Amino acid sequence: MQAKCLTITYLTNVSYASLNGSDKEADNISSIKKIQMANGREYPYKSSQAIRRDLREQLAVMGENLSETEIAKQAKGAATTQGKPQEFIDDDLFGFMLADKETIKRTSPVRVSPLISLEPYRGELDFATNYMGVQAGGTPNIFESEIHSGLYRGTILIELDRVGVADASTYVLDLENTEKKRRVSMLLDAIQNLWGVGRQSRFLADISPKFVCAALMVVKNPIFLECVKVDEQGLVEISLIESTKNDFAAVIKNYVLGERKGFFPQDSSQALPMGKAFTEMKSWLEDVYK
């Protein structure tokens, strides 16, 4: 059977960060986004929208020509890209919706989960002072930002059979396999070098993957989304991943683990160095887009 998706679940770590701002709880407190789990604790997360923005910006850094944002044609409408996926990689991979007399829409073949912390928020705050305007007779503005440290887990699922293929007759998209392969390969490079574009002036953080679990599948299912965890010693629970892989063996064509060697307390003998793991994923595309 032909492969239909590539699913990648990854772990990253931040030691001191404020990854994704939320609405202010008070005038002088900048909060981070959090979700309350069944245990009653709050876990910080970076939204899927923010991750998609990060990937898009990384593609631009790598030299890709992105679709420019245009002002909405309807009153109170949201700004959109140009909606030209044949020409622009981001319109192809991340989709678009142009709302005018006729709505033109492409559903994104790249599905992204929020990047959710595996460790709860511990109430930590960064105290700061804004001196802008002091010389003009103003007073310093004292404020605080919520910060967090710990491991985060996210998943990206790429619908390989939809990249470079139109899902509606209202726009043009019919790419050759060589260009499909190139675009997915560029996306994999962006994932490997994932870097957050927001809040980096004061809270520089590296959110590139430190551990990845990836599978090429003949069905579309993010099978590892909830199955990549660490134990009390900070080691990835490989047995849970192996159990999941065995449960879905009938629909997995290829599978790889990758890690940043030396990052965790003990290296896994089953995981390739991170660079080799992404090279392995790229090699799968040769069969998909032959």
Residue 205's pLDDT band, with cuts at 50, 70 and 90, is: confident
Per-residue pLDDT averaged across 173-186, rounded?
A: 98
Query: Would you call 233 exposed, middle or buried from its count of C-beta atoms within 10 A (0-12, 13-18, 19+)?
Result: exposed
Domain encompassing residue 257? 5-288
Residue 242's pLDDT band, with cuts at 50, 70 and 90, is: very high
Q: What is the H or E stretch that residue 285 is in?
A: helix 274-288
The contacts of residue 249 (CB under 8 Å, 6+ apart) are: none
**23-27, 213-217, 226-230: lowest mean pLDDT where?**
23-27
**138-147, 169-178, 251-260: lowest mean pLDDT where?**
138-147
The pLDDT of residue 71: 47
The CA distance from 17 to 199, in Å, is 9
The CA distance from 242 to 227, in Å, is 10
The pLDDT of residue 87: 97
* Residues pairing with 257 in the sheet: 213
Question: Is 23's pLDDT higher than 80?
Answer: no
If DSSP codes are grouped into helix, strand and coil, which group holds residue 230? strand
pLDDT tens digits for range 33-80:
888 999 999 999 999 999 999 999 999 999 999 997 654 444 444 567
Q: Which two tokens stand for residue 69?
A: 């944002």
CA distances from 144 to 2, 120, 129 (A): 52, 19, 8
Q: Match 């996926």 to its residue by tokens.
A: 85
Number of folded domains in the chain?
1
pLDDT tens digits for range 95-109:
999 887 788 999 999
The CA distance from 197 to 204, in Å, is 9
Percent of the chain with pLDDT over 70: 86
Cβ contact 187:57 at 8 Å? no
The residue ranking higher by pLDDT, 126 or 136, is 126
Q: Nearest-CA neighbor of 65 among 43, 92, 38, 102?
A: 92
The CA distance from 243 to 246, in Å, is 5
